[in-house]
Structure 1
Amino acid sequence: MPQKTEPNQPPRWATLTVASCNVLNLAQPGRAFYAGQDPYSEAEHGRKLDWLGDRFKALNADVLAVQEVWDEVALRGAIARSGLRYTHVTVPGAENGPGQHGAQGTPRVGLATRLKVESVTSITDFPAQAALDVPGLGRHARFERPPLLATLEMKHGQRVHVLTAHLKSKRPKFLQDDQGRPLEDPDDPNVAAVASVRSLLMRAAESLALRLKVVELLHRTHTPLILMGDLNDGPHSVTTQLIAATTSAAYDKGARDTALYNAWDVQVGAALRRDVAYSHIHLGFPEVLDQVLVSEEFVAGQRHSLGDVLRLDVFNDHLHEGRDRSRSDHGFVRAVLRVRLPDSHTAP
């Protein structure tokens, strides 16, 4: 006779560990990346790969989202030193090979994963409604650092969308000529104010473009979405909330279909919460710039919940070890997510 399933049998979980890492100008030795910054020496490059390899090993993530990669081959080198095996590593726009010389102008975002990859797409252009006019720059309609959208499959078959992003920083955007020479006086406070507005408008347009992609992926679907990266603003900022729309979801149940939730806020391991979750220090002030956002499928108690966020960890001790280009100036963020397996049964 078939065995009867106990009604109070606890659920069986599949876990998914994801991490976001701004690796701070990961480039090959001898390669110039920013004007005024010396290329890495062979020794400095080796120290950077060793340090990143140790961090990647500690994170041990199934999905590793990275930002600020100039050369894909350098990321592969850091992963090799971690001893971890990732079946798929990609940094679109930063490839190294015949006729390919890594990223140009600005670093790129990338992804490394152990999961089965269904598709990976680099998002370059904004939808028409997200484009904005920026003073002195004209129409801003493309990402400077194109986000990466990957559709992955967990071992038990659950599909997951992962978006990796690195938005425009708050650093003032001063005008330059084609050779990178300044066209404005950065010491003029009026000029600096306009330059800061340029950065804000660029980040706002990028946030809107991401929001429209989030809605496209989530509206009336039940494939979970994880958005990770350096959003260059805090969880409650206008730009982050433009992407996530969490506030709307708090008052409108219908809005939860396309909302994103900060993994820190919805983790079920509440006892693990501490006020040390900053991922960057700017002028002595801690900030949360690097974030993991999840759709309602990873929020316990939601109507379409498939699982939850077990815990979120921020690896930021190195931020107090002094400035050294071999280390990142951002903390690394890791979330452990859970999905209930289809044959799980819980008490009503």
Structure 2
Amino acid sequence: MRPTPADHTPPPLATLMVATCNVLNLANPGRLFYPNQEAYTEAEYERKIDWLGSRFRTLNADVLAVQEVWDEAALKAAIAHSGLRYDFVAVPGAENDDKRHGAQGTPRVGIATRLKVEALQSFAQFPPAFQVDVPGLGLHTRFERPPLVATLRMKHGQRVNVLTAHLKSKRPKFLQDANGHVLEDKDDRKVGALASLRSLVMRGAEAMALRCLVIDLLQRTSVPLVVMGDFNDTPDSVTTQLICATTEIAYDRSARDVALFNAYDLQGEMALKKDVAFSHIHQGSPSVLDQILVSEEFLPRGRNSLGDVRRVDYFNDHLHEGRDRTRSDHGFVRALLRLQMEEKHAPAPGP
């Protein structure tokens, strides 16, 4: 083999550790978040933030994408218990101050990072003309839990966009009155099937709207994108594939520019792919609901490659310890990514 010319030496790579964590109803003590659930006592709250703090310390990620946060103050307390320093912690819609008292109605997604934050924006509404009619509910026009886009700058100058999402669950959506009382017979199995369909349509609509956001962030730019969160569906599901659009690459080469790839599938050859890669257990069946997706810039031998995925780890041992709301019912997923140190001077779309 001929030696590689000096001017073709690949640039050095900088590491970026990212992780996604569904923290299971993280709220301040004494604060009622769901009408059918009791508020945390002081003792429960202390156990929860202490447990989360130890998990955050183990993850030791540069970027934490979190879901199911009711109170931003509680997340900051858990991070303080980790002993790690995160200069930026935000959960839009769940702030705690004199005028704002955390999230209302549904928990929110947030981010904690050591990196410089250049922009941060939540997206509640679906794009115009992308609203979907849900049986019995009418038009579905907005995310139940608005996704969050952060534009970050790594210490060597690389810009990267990080999107945190939490899609609609599979829990049946029964019709309710203004006070939250169910208007349908939950014991009627046919009604239950229709309620499950509503959830599917709503999650599908959110996946479509998220896909639109991904396209806006990726089209005609070389700024890498990392999408993390609780998708409430598996990597091979219709909704996840709707977000990724990876299969379109087979017959449309230009589709790679706006496609997403599961980080677990892109791991380096030396990575240990264990058969314990799951993030949730439902009725004894393990599955991957919490995912880390990356853009083509992280393809190791891609035409527009700027880095790669070294390793993806699943932290799920606590799922076998029994149900306890002071822990989480989801495993946490962490990915070690790498990006070239030299900055690519391509226009970066704002969130």
TM-score clears 0.5: yes
- TM-score when normalising by structure 1: 0.95
1:105 has 2:105 as partner? yes
- Is 1:37 matched with 2:19? no
- 1:341 Cα deviation after fit: 2.1
Contact 1:106 1:144 in 2 (8 A): yes
Q: Identify unmatched segments of 5+ residues in structure 2.
A: 344-351
Whole-angstrom CA distance in 1 between matches of 2:248 and 2:53 = 40
Q: Could you tell me how far apart the structure 2 residues matched to 1:7 and 1:99 are? A: 58
Q: Which contiguous aligned blocks of 4+ residues in structure 1 show a shift greater than 4 angstroms?
A: 5-11
Tell me if structure 2 keeps the 8 A contact 1:269–1:311: no
| 1:35 Cα deviation from its structure 2 partner | 1.9
Letter in 1 for 2:297: E
Structure-1 separation of matches of 2:269 and 2:336: 10
User: Counterpart of 2:200?
Assistant: 200
Distance 2:87 2:31 in 1: 27
Deviation per CA, 1:270-321, whole angstroms, max 9, x where unpaired? Answer: 5411221110001111110000000000111111100000100000000000
Cα distance in 1 between the residues matched to 2:98 and 2:165 = 27
What residue is the counterpart of 1:322 in the other structure? 322
Greater shift, 195-204 or 175-184, is seen at 175-184
C-alpha separation in 2, matches of 1:176 and 1:205: 20
- Aligned residue identity for 2:165: A
Q: Which residue does the alignment assign to 1:190?
A: 190
How far has the Cα of 1:252 moved from its partner? 2.6
1:178 Cα deviation (Å)? 1.6
1:260-339 equivalences under 5 Å are 260-339=260-339
Amino acid at match of 2:53: G
Asked if structure 1 preserves the Cα contact closer than 8 Å seen for 2:158 and 2:342, the reply is: no
Partner Cα distance (1:27, 1:252) in 2: 46
Q: Distance in 2 between matches of 1:231 and 1:271?
A: 24
Letter of the 2:41 counterpart: S
| Cα deviation digits, residues 60-79 of structure 1 (max 9, x gap) | 01100000000000000000
SS at match of 1:272: coil
1:230 correspondence with 2:230? yes
Q: 268-277 vs 225-234, which deviates more? A: 268-277
Inter-partner Cα distance in structure 2 for 1:312 and 1:271: 8
Letter in 2 for 1:217: L
Q: Aligned partner of 1:95: which letter?
A: E
TM-superposed CA distance for 1:220, in Å, is 1.0
Q: Matches of residues 65-76 of structure 1 in structure 2 within 5 Å?
A: 65-76=65-76
Post-superposition offset of 1:208: 0.5
SS in 2 for 1:133: strand
Aligned residues: CA RMSD: 1.3
Q: CA deviation at 1:129?
A: 3.1
Answer with 175-184 or 39-48: which moved more: 175-184
CA–CA distance in 2 between the matches of 1:11 and 1:49? 41
Runs (5+) with no aligned partner, structure 1: 344-348
Q: 3-state SS of the aligned residue for 2:15?
A: strand
In the alignment, the residues of structure 1 paired with residue 326 and residue 18 of structure 2 have an alpha-carbon distance, to the nearest angstrom, of 23
Residue correspondence of structure 1 range 9-28 to structure 2 within 5 A: 11-28=11-28
Please identify, of 182-191 and 229-238, the stretch whose mean Cα deviation from structure 2 is larger. Answer: 182-191
1:51 to partner: Cα distance: 0.2
Question: Could you tell me which residue of structure 1 aligns to residue 61 of structure 2?
Answer: 61
Taking the aligned partners of 1:183 and 1:101, their CA distance within structure 2 comes to 30
Q: Distance in 2 between matches of 1:299 and 1:185?
A: 50
Tell me the percent identity: 68
CA contact under 8 A between 1:130 and 1:206: conserved in structure 2? no
Deviation at residue 10 of structure 1 after TM alignment: 6.5
Mapped to 1, the partners of 2:73 and 2:313 lie a distance apart of 28
Q: CA deviation at 1:107?
A: 0.3
Question: TM-score scaled to structure 2, two decimals?
Answer: 0.94
Of residues 122-131 and 327-336 in structure 1, the stretch that sits farther from structure 2 once superposed is 122-131
Which amino acid letter does the alignment assign opposite residue 48 of structure 1?
K
